[in-house]
């Protein structure tokens, strides 16, 4: 069995998923491929080809681990806990989505692993939103990153040629045509790698939850902007980012419907300013890349994903040359068996 899980680009809507807000991601063609075949015995043998590393563990008790092993063991354990009777397997995986870059190599791995493990056990594929929740438990409980559902939903529900407007309050998904005409979306690595478990990501998440508590709402996106402005700093600015970012997602959907890509560029810039100043999730290396892209004529450029490093997303107007190291990105297929 061979499964492919895509990474994702988030056009806009950052740090909104765990706040019951809005985002507009799409699956990309870069991702992770997982190969699985039945194995005699009672466990799993796993090879991570990109690291030249291996792991072996039992189906009954995968046990905790670090790094990529935590993703594989966690996926096996969470599928088992959810009632799927997995079969022992030999697994090999490799990928072409850079790690620590904000393009969700982790969701790519999780979604491909789920499809490969289910398929090798002869099990039908469950509801993909349920699978996304399961993958998110792997991140939260096995990897130690308190991430939301953005990456997993994008990887599992992506649609070619479309971004997905996700409302995290209801998990309603709405495909939004992403017609760039002769404009281009590119990502550029900042050179600063990040891991959600080790960066300021979990701190920001805790601050958002403290802001929601102070405002008496279950999730920050349900708060009013006026009430949020009465919070103490830094919670005030964290809330301001989340609420303004939600509004920018719908402004982007509206701009795309009108084909107004220049407006999309301005919204990307505004998102970046908010992530940098109000959410304080940027780092020097990312700022340098954003500045370089803007000086080179990008209509908009912003940090992407969890922040504190990783890739920058830029929208380039027609005729502008892609800077060195830029990789074009377009909405591709969701996770699938090959
Ligand atoms: C990471 C997380 C997501 C989301 C983004 C920020 O990619 O995995 O759940 O919170 O950061 O928007």
Nearest atom of ligand 1 to the alpha carbon of 17: 10
pLDDT score of 192: 86
pLDDT score of 297: 95
pLDDT tens per residue, range 61-73: 999 999 999 999 9
User: Residue 160 is encoded by which pair of tokens?
Assistant: 């070619």
Distance 11 CA to ligand 1 centre (A): 12
3-class DSSP state of 33: strand
CA distance 331 to 289: 23
Residue, of 161 and 145, whose pLDDT is higher: 161
Q: CB within 6 Å of ligand 1 — which residues?
A: 14-15, 17-18, 147-148, 150-151, 196, 305-306
> Cα 208 to chain center, whole Å?
18
Q: Is residue 197 pLDDT above 90, yes or no? A: no
Spot the catalytic one: 151, 179, 250, 278: 151
The mean predicted confidence, pLDDT, of the chain is 95
pLDDT tens per residue, range 222-252: 999 999 999 999 999 999 999 999 999 999 9
The pTM assigned to this predicted structure is 0.96
Nearest to 1 by CA among 92, 131, 96, 128: 92
Q: Which residue has the tokens 């102070």?
A: 214
Confidence of residue 220 (pLDDT cuts 50, 70, 90): very high
Distance 307 CA to ligand 1 centre (A): 8
Q: Is residue 196 pLDDT above 70, yes or no? A: no
Q: What's the whole-number mean pLDDT along residues 298-323?
A: 93
Distance 41 CA to ligand 1 centre (A): 37
CA distance 211 to 68: 33
pLDDT score of 38: 97
First and final CA of the chain: distance in angstroms? 8
Q: Is residue 296 pLDDT above 90, yes or no? A: yes
CA R_g for the chain: 20
Residue to mutate, 244, 305, 310, ligand 1, most ligand atoms under 8 Å from C-beta:
305
pLDDT tens per residue, range 119-150: 999 999 999 999 999 999 999 999 988 889 99
Q: Is residue 99 pLDDT above 90, yes or no? A: no
SS (H, E, C) the chain: CEEEEEEEEECCCCCCHHHCCEECEEEEEEEEEEEEEECCCCEEEEEECCCCEEEEEECCCCCCCCHHHHHHHHHHHHHHHCCCCCCCEEEEEEECCCCCCCCCHHHHHHHHHHHHHHHHCCCCCCCHHHHHHHHHHHHHHHHCCCCCCHHHHHHHHCECCEEEEEECCCCEEEEEECCCCCCEEEEEECCCCCCCCCCCHHHHHHHHHHHHHHHCCCCHHHCCHHHHHCCCCCHHHHHHHHHHHHHHHHHHHHHHHHCCHHHHHHHHHHHHHHHHHCCCCCCHHHHHHHHHHHHCCCCEEEECCCCCCCEEEEEECCCCCCCCCCEECCCCCCCEEC
Q: What's the whole-number mean pLDDT along residues 202-215?
A: 96
182 among known catalytic residues: no
Q: Please, where are the H alpha helices in 102-234? A: 105-120, 128-137, 150-157, 201-215, 225-229
Q: What's the whole-number mean pLDDT along residues 146-166?
A: 96
């Amino acid at each position: 069995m061979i499964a492919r899980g895509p990474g994702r680009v988030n056009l806009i809507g950052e740090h909104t998923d765990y706040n019951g807000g809005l985002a507009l991601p799409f699956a990309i063609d870069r991702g992770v491929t997982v190969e699985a075949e039945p194995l005699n015995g009672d466990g799993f043998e796993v090879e991570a080809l990109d690291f030249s590393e291996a792991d072996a563990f039992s189906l009954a008790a995968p046990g905790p681990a670090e790094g990529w092993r935590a993703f594989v063991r966690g996926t096996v354990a969470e599928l088992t806990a959810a009632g799927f009777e997995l079969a022992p397997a030999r697994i090999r995986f490799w990928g072409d989505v850079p790690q620590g870059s904000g393009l969700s190599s982790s969701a790519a791995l999780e979604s491909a692993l789920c499809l490969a493990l289910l398929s090798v056990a002869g099990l039908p594929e469950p509801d993909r939103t349920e699978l996304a929740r399961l993958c998110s438990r792997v991140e939260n409980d096995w990897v130690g990153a308190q991430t939301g559902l953005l990456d997993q939903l994008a990887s599992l529900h992506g649609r070619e040629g479309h971004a997905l407007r996700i409302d995290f309050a209801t998990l309603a998904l709405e495909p939004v045509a992403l017609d760039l005409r002769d404009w281009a979306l590119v990502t550029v690595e900042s050179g600063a790698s990040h891991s959600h478990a080790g960066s300021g990501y979990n701190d920001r998440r805790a601050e958002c939850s403290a802001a929601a508590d102070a405002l008496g709402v279950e999730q920050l996106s349900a708060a009013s902007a006026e009430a949020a402005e009465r919070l103490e700093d830094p919670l005030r600015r964290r809330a301001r980012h989340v609420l303004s970012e939600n509004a920018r997602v719908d402004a982007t959907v509206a701009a795309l419907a009108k084909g107004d890509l220049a407006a999309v560029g301005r919204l990307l810039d505004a998102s970046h300013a908010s992530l940098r100043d109000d959410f304080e999730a940027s780092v020097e290396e990312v700022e340098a890349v954003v500045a370089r892209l803007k000086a080179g004529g990008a209509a908009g450029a912003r940090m992407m994903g969890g922040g504190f490093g990783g890739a920058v997303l830029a929208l380039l107007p027609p005729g502008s040359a892609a800077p060195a190291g830029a990789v074009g990105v377009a909405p591709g297929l969701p996770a699938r068996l090959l």
